[in-house]
Structure 1
């Protein structure tokens, strides 16, 4: 049931991934789920760049080098994580947004549409037993130096995916009653 999948969705980080590959067929299925996200005025602003195999190490090297270049006091642990996390993943998908050239709707609506596409991916991963995590480091503002981005396209983050062992912890949410006002 979809409600159970929603409740069981968790952030699963690269450090938790095992060595089992995420297949191209699985990635294609996950991306197809993204493509069915709602989109105002049918702009379909989501764009994805899949890093699978050797390109993951190149991404890690780029992020690590860029961090050392722009950070006044780079931390060794962050340098290592930026270098290693893409390689630990079964795949990394760069989450991008292509702004409607006519700007026929507010930018936040296109960001929301991309976010819904990512939620579809995450729910699909949950159903498939694949761990996932959306990372949005400050370094994404430099991704035009790594990827060929179209005009008005920008990177919003990275969707890390990987298989994992064991159970994920339960999550407790505050009661919805404290977050809703009923107006009659």
Structure 2
């Protein structure tokens, strides 16, 4: 086994992970080997009863334009006139093509329902965290988007029976400035029970 990273290296990656948005993306390519490495790390997420519920649809190349067109036209067709936003439609229609890769985050429910659904949702979220931390280690930017029209992506993604989309993970090289990271004091969120 290769030498494990130091605790300092692991902490640095965890604490530097951040949402990097499409406005900061560059057009530098990402190899399929890197994408597969991210997904392989995602595949090692913990999951109860070994259901491995995460599923990923990797959208690249011309499929990014198809996704952008689908999202824009779907938003236009399902949004009541009084709620329609030209700015939102433009964002939905352009963000996918700013990314090098969009990964649809999907969950395949255990057909036997041998465990509560929330556990499979949590396992899928942990797989995404593995993917995100790996992307950070590669110097890539990304963010997990859950657009309001997520429930309408099934036809585009060709989802299987019992599978649903939980969001889109945008991924690209970026030119974001260093982003200040803030969290409240962990001591305020921890209660020690020693007796």
Query: Is the shorter-chain TM-score for this pair beyond 0.5, marking a shared fold?
Result: yes
Which position in structure 2 is the counterpart of 1:69? 77
Structure 2 residue runs without a partner (length 5+): 1-8
Aligned twin of 1:157:
167
Change (3 A) 1:166 1:155: closer
Shift of 1:166: 4.5
Aligned to 2:133: 123
- Take 1:142 and 1:42, find their aligned partners in 2: how far apart are those partners? 29
Distance change >3 Å, CA 64–CA 106, structure 1 → 2: same
Which segments of 5 or more consecutive residues in structure 1 lack a partner in the other structure? none
Report the equivalent of 1:10.
18
Q: Which residue of 1 aligns with 2:6?
A: none
Partner in structure 1 of residue 119 of structure 2 = 109
Larger radius of gyration: 2
Matches within 5 A, 1:38-57: 38-57=46-65
Aligned equivalent of 2:107, options 97, 106, 116: 97
- What is the deviation of 1:167? 2.9
| Count of aligned pairs | 184
Instruction: Tell me, yes or no, if the aligned pair for 2:141 and 2:171 is still in contact at 8 Å.
Output: yes
Contact 1:131–1:163 under 8 Å retained in 2: yes
Deviates more, 1:111-120 or 1:163-172: 163-172
